[in-house]
Amino acid sequence: MNTAVFSYADLLAFTKGVFVHFGMSDEAAEIAAKNLILADLRGIDSHGIARLSGYIRLQKAGRANFKPNFQILHQTPSTATIDADLGLGLNSAHAGMLLAIEKAKQVGTGWVAIQNSNHFGIAAAHAILALEQDMIGFALTNASPLVTPTNGKERMLGTNPICVCFPSNHNQAFVLDMATSAAANGKLEIAQRMGKDLPPNWVQSSEGMASNNAHELKAGGALLPLGGHKGYGLASMVDILAGVLSGANYGPWVPPFVAFLNPLENLPGNGIGHFVGAMRIDAFRPAADFKQHMDNWIDRFKQTTPINENKPVLIPGELEALEAIERMKNGIPVHTLVIDSMLELVNETGLTMPSQL
Amino acid sequence: MNTAVFSYADLLAFTKGVFVHFGMSDEAAEIAAKNLILADLRGIDSHGIARLSGYIRLQKAGRANFKPNFQILHQTPSTATIDADLGLGLNSAHAGMLLAIEKAKQVGTGWVAIQNSNHFGIAAAHAILALEQDMIGFALTNASPLVTPTNGKERMLGTNPICVCFPSNHNQAFVLDMATSAAANGKLEIAQRMGKDLPPNWVQSSEGMASNNAHELKAGGALLPLGGHKGYGLASMVDILAGVLSGANYGPWVPPFVAFLNPLENLPGNGIGHFVGAMRIDAFRPAADFKQHMDNWIDRFKQTTPINENKPVLIPGELEALEAIERMKNGIPVHTLVIDSMLELVNETGLTMPSQL
């Protein structure tokens, strides 16, 4: 195993310390760290502490602002548009979601578009804030282009995830959090580390030819949209809601996450964009009724006759919720390459490296 | 060719006449016919006049009500839940969308869940009502179960479509209208007529085995969700918004469209369910700015470097909009089997059969 195991609390404290060291307020660093490390807790290792040094490099390049002044540009009783002042999406989408929830309390639903932001971690981190309010949560974001539209060989869309979550009573909440590409980059990295070929229809070559090469992106290829042209449509929907509607950049103009690549010139918008929403369940029917039927929905789907008795039907978010319980108890495995990036941050900041479990 | 061509106006008048004959008011029949024949106009032949006799059979079976009393069960400034009184979705989703638009005018967005309904035709028919108001339109519906969740071999979900549409200035509007299954039943019927095998991952056998047999559904097999487990998640999201939130049936309990199959017993809800929404663009940013950027988005995506120079990148809804222009001008081809079903309605109603072009 080229991983070592750390406690959730230690990774959280370390991450918060790094953000504070680079100028974030204590309160903002707490929010950013919690949202980032939630990815590691839920087993989405590509979106957690593995990205911490990337956020720091963006700040050093002047492309992320650790003391942003979030500003409401426009609002109605059920909507708002926020300028995130180049803050991290870890914070701006959180603030947007809290505003959406307040609006939903007043008029039934709340929808917030966010421009001039940076990556927001896992979409679920923001959407699930709605659950404890007996609301349905939504979180979408656009991202730098890696995906081709159907028939194209040019990278035009990000992996543009969609998260939607629904509360229930006795079951884990339904939490769908999915990239609109066939597979996100994290799954390619896993195949690279294992020296494996990819399944069909995950990537294509720079000339648009079918490929199962896990290194195809480095050779100028692209990710493919989920299931072909429908995934292209869904990724476009996310790009338009998060990018065009908010006043952020969109399509090929979304700035790259990596600090060593510069944004294009003559950008049509500001930073990257998110779109979050909250719908109060009792704006439609009593929350107790909904949650009882949601449990019935989940129970019935878990009882679907399986193809293989040992592989039951799963509910979206079920594995991630189980992983979070397991990792909270037994710790979070962190890959050696990520540990190296943490050690560099230790050298630079003078913070103490968390000890391995 | 086993088709004959009819004018849009004649198909519309015939359909309206049939609905009126079976008891619908003139006004309701006009709305239902327009929404149904829009499918034929846009080239979605499976959802248009081909379904007319099916709606009539549902009415005769006492499962569709042609004189419904739509009732608002619950509402807030941005939401409502409607009991459609077993009316056709062609009418109830239309009414729901008009209510959503009114709410959006007041508070920025409007969202309407509809229970106790029947099939609503193509989702786009309802969502596009938002476009002329400079709003973004959404329409979702659940449907009778044909699709298996990942790992399952039991039909649990409908083809549960998602439509979202965005206005622009000089381009055709962006209209994404997609089933959340890999392919809808209409595409299987085309393969059946042509005697062709299906692409991989469209269907599986009753035992959950991979299949490319276009007749697999009749042998007890099932449709597969778009791109695997993500499509299962999306179809579930639609089912929960349209079914669980509205108080309609959901999952395996959604009543069958065909009148010769009875609904299950002990249903958890009423009829089938829809979910529609409208977001005022100027609740987020000035509509003129948005539409200018939307044109820029569309223009840029159409210029994506294509894999094959003869197959440019298309915008969602582009082909359907072109088809509608072509068919409005030159007529709508109708399959012989559908013409037979129209002739049966002629015999029964005494209406005049439209003449072929």
| A:175-204 residues touching chain B, CB 8 A cutoff | 176, 178, 182
| A:85-114 residues touching chain B, CB 8 A cutoff | 106-109, 111, 113
pLDDT band at residue A81 using 50, 70 and 90 as cut-offs: very high
Average pLDDT value for residue range B218-237: 96
pLDDT band at residue A1 using 50, 70 and 90 as cut-offs: low
Q: How far B70 CA sits from the closest chain A CA (Å)?
A: 16
Secondary structure of residue A302 in the 3-state scheme: helix
Asked if the model's pLDDT at residue A186 lies above 90, the reply is no
- All residues of chain A having their beta carbon less than 8 Å from the beta carbon of residue B164 are 237
pLDDT tens, residue by residue, B9-45: 999 999 999 999 999 999 999 999 999 999 999 999 9
Which positions ≥6 away from B71 have C-beta within 8 Å?
Answer: B82, B83, B85
Task: Measure the N-to-C terminal CA separation of chain B; round to a whole number of Å.
Answer: 14
Asked if the model's pLDDT at residue B323 lies above 80, the reply is yes
Nearest-by-Cβ selection for A107 from B77, B290, B304: B77
3-state SS string over chain B? Answer: CCEEEECHHHHHHHHHHHHHHCCCCHHHHHHHHHHHHHHHHCCCHHHCHHHHHHHHHHHHCCCCCCCCCCEEEEEECCEEEEECCCCCHHHHHHHHHHHHHHHHHHHCEEEEEEEEECCCCCHHHHHHHHHHHCEEEEEEECCCCCECCCCECCCCECCCCEEEEECCCCCCCEEEEECCECCCHHHHHHHHHHCCCCCCCCEECCCCCEECCCCHHHHCCEECECCCHHHHHHHHHHHHHHHHCCCCCCHHHCCCCCCCCCCCCCCCCCCEEEEEEEEEHHHCCCHHHHHHHHHHHHHHHHCCCECCCCCCCCCCCHHHHHHHHHHHHHCEEEEHHHHHHHHHHHHHHCCCCCCCC
Tally C-beta pairs within 8 A across A and B: 233
Q: Is the pTM above the cut of 0.80? A: yes
Asked if the model's pLDDT at residue B186 lies above 90, the reply is no
CB of B233 less than 8 A from some CB of A = yes
Are the beta carbons of A151 and B207 separated by less than 8 Å?
Answer: no
Are the beta carbons of A306 and B227 separated by less than 8 Å?
Answer: no
Nearest-by-Cβ selection for A79 from B74, B109, B296: B109
Asked if the model's pLDDT at residue B1 lies above 60, the reply is no
- Best interface-test mutation with A: which of B71, B75, B81, B109 has the largest number of A CBs within 10 A? B109
- Percent of chain A having pLDDT more than 70? 100
Q: How far B84 CA sits from the closest chain A CA (Å)?
A: 15
CB of A22 less than 8 A from some CB of B = no
Give the tokens for residue B306: 């294509």
pLDDT tens, residue by residue, A116-132: 999 999 999 999 999 99
| A:265-294 residues touching chain B, CB 8 A cutoff | 268-269, 279-281, 283-285, 289-290, 293-294
Q: What is the ipTM, given to two decimal places?
A: 0.98
- What is the Cα–Cα distance from A262 to A250, expressed in whole angstroms? 15
Closest residue in A to B311 (Cα–Cα): A151
Are the beta carbons of B77 and A77 separated by less than 8 Å?
Answer: yes
What pLDDT is recorded for position A6? 98
- All residues of chain A having their beta carbon less than 8 Å from the beta carbon of residue B106 are 77
pLDDT tens, residue by residue, A33-69: 999 999 999 999 989 999 999 999 999 999 999 999 9
pLDDT band at residue B2 using 50, 70 and 90 as cut-offs: confident
What pLDDT is recorded for position A312? 97
Average pLDDT value for residue range A148-169: 98
Are the beta carbons of A313 and B151 separated by less than 8 Å?
Answer: yes
Are the beta carbons of A283 and B76 separated by less than 8 Å?
Answer: yes
Give the tokens for residue B140: 């979702």
pLDDT tens, residue by residue, A245-282: 999 999 999 999 999 999 999 999 999 999 999 999 99
